[in-house]
Amino acid sequence: MIPLVKTNIPAREKMMPELEKILYRGYVAQGEQVEHFERAFETFVGKGHSLSVNSGTSALHIALILAGVQPDDEVISTALTAEPTNVAIKMMGAKIRYADVDYTTGNISPKSIESNINKSTKAIMVVDYAGIPINVPAIQAISLKYKIPVIQDAAHALGAKFNGSKTGNHFQYTVFSFQAIKQLTTIDGGMLQIESKEEYERAKLIRWFGIDKKLSRLENNIQFQGYKYHMNNVNATIGLVQLAEIYSILNSHIDNGKYYDHELQAIPGVELVDYYPGSEPAYWLYTLKVENREGFIRKLADNGIAASELHKRNDWHSYLNDFHTELPNLDKFYDKLVHLPCGWWITVENRDHIVNTIKAGW
């Protein structure tokens, strides 16, 4: 079966010497390698400050704290995402106010964000679902107009771009996940890209019990709630080895994605997803809309191809459904949504086989 997702581990000859060095150096906790990984990631993104953490979920939690979200505040979010996006909002004791999606892209609709803003709104959570960039300029304009911070959950969108600049350059807070099946994996881990230097310094304290690592334990005076969210030297070492070859991974996702964009046009029963002008998807997964999704998934499975909708829309979890909002565009989109395997493991033969299977009908 051609899998929908797969873990990428660089070649043994590259990974094992580095891992061996760090494992037996005597210091595996947060140290020099973590610092190297953060600075290398900053260079990759090109702007802002990179705070490494033990998961994307921890990065979301810290971002929500920095954004000033308090219990009973509202955060506008999307239901088309993985659960951590919205579970993190609930970790704050806040309420999730779902905005609808744009039917053409599946991403959160700026118009719907604006119509859901009220006096309890403290933050806007946006997701580049499956690696398709959100409508960056429209969301930036709303953030500016209402002075509401934006948290961009870019767990699927490492290396995506908008108007030529990489994801991580556009909002106050951008979250990346380095969990097992992401383009870059540290086995588990994440990064919070923070625009402001001052907030970055505060985030370092939140990441580690509220303790300032620059001072001795006795000199410290904890003044607010912190957590144990740091990355360690072992995960950071894996991250550095991954980062050294990240462009070849990202480019193979993009190459396969563009191939599907071209080859799957004008097939009866297939509706391609649109991308906002100026956006360049990361194609973590390939997203499309199909008639008779069940039949489509069955046909592909019969031909050795794993395809699926992957995520359950989050408003269908009762704990994540605070306001029972009508989401008519998401209803239509989710009915037809399906993902195809698109990553670095898809060979030229694989993608031809996938396209030909779809062209044969289901």
Ligand X SMILES: Cc1ncc(COP(=O)(O)O)c(C=O)c1O
Min CB(157)–ligand X separation in Å: 9
Q: What is each CA distance from 309 to 82, 276, 341, 353, in whole angstroms? A: 11, 22, 11, 20
Should residue 4 be labelled a site residue for ligand X when binding is judged by CB under 6 A? no
Q: Which of 30, 33, 52, 55 binds ligand X (CB under 6 A)?
A: 55
Min CB(298)–ligand X separation in Å: 25
Q: What is each CA distance from 302 to 59, 260, 285, 305, in whole angstroms? A: 39, 20, 20, 7
Q: Which of 30, 57, 77, 109 binds ligand X (CB under 6 A)?
A: 57
Interacting span for ligand X (CB under 6 A) from 7-15, 150-158, 161-169, 257-265:
150-158
Min CB(285)–ligand X separation in Å: 10
Going by the DSSP 8-state scheme, the letter that residue 86 receives in this structure is H
The set of residues, in sequence order, having a beta carbon less than 8 Å from that of 35 and lying 6+ positions away, is none
Q: Which of 112, 143, 152, 179 binds ligand X (CB under 6 A)?
A: 179
Min CB(178)–ligand X separation in Å: 6
Q: Which of 169, 177, 256, 314 binds ligand X (CB under 6 A)?
A: 177
Look at residues 272, 290, 289, 279 and name the one whose alpha carbon lies nearest to residue 254.
279
Min CB(297)–ligand X separation in Å: 20
Should residue 190 be labelled a site residue for ligand X when binding is judged by CB under 6 A? yes
Q: Which residue, 185 or 252, has its beta carbon nearer to ligand X?
A: 185
Should residue 74 be labelled a site residue for ligand X when binding is judged by CB under 6 A? no
Q: Which of 4, 75, 82, 101 binds ligand X (CB under 6 A)?
A: 82
CB 193 within 8 A of CB 176: yes
Q: Which of 79, 155, 330, 337 binds ligand X (CB under 6 A)?
A: 155
* Residue 73, both tokens: 């505040």
Min CB(176)–ligand X separation in Å: 8
Q: Which residue, 184 or 241, has its beta carbon nearer to ligand X?
A: 184
Q: Which residue, 149 or 189, has its beta carbon nearer to ligand X?
A: 189
Q: Which residue, 130 or 297, has its beta carbon nearer to ligand X?
A: 130
Separation CA 10–CA 16 (nearest Å): 9
Separation CA 138–CA 32 (nearest Å): 39
Separation CA 124–CA 338 (nearest Å): 26
Look at residues 165, 185, 168 and name the one whose alpha carbon lies nearest to residue 177.
185
CA 59 and chain centroid, separation: 11
Should residue 127 be labelled a site residue for ligand X when binding is judged by CB under 6 A? yes
Look at residues 309, 307, 304, 300 and name the one whose alpha carbon lies nearest to residue 361.
300
CA 245 and chain centroid, separation: 19
Should residue 106 be labelled a site residue for ligand X when binding is judged by CB under 6 A? no
Give contact residues for ligand X (rule: CB under 6 A): 55-57, 81-82, 84-85, 127, 153, 155-156, 177, 179, 190
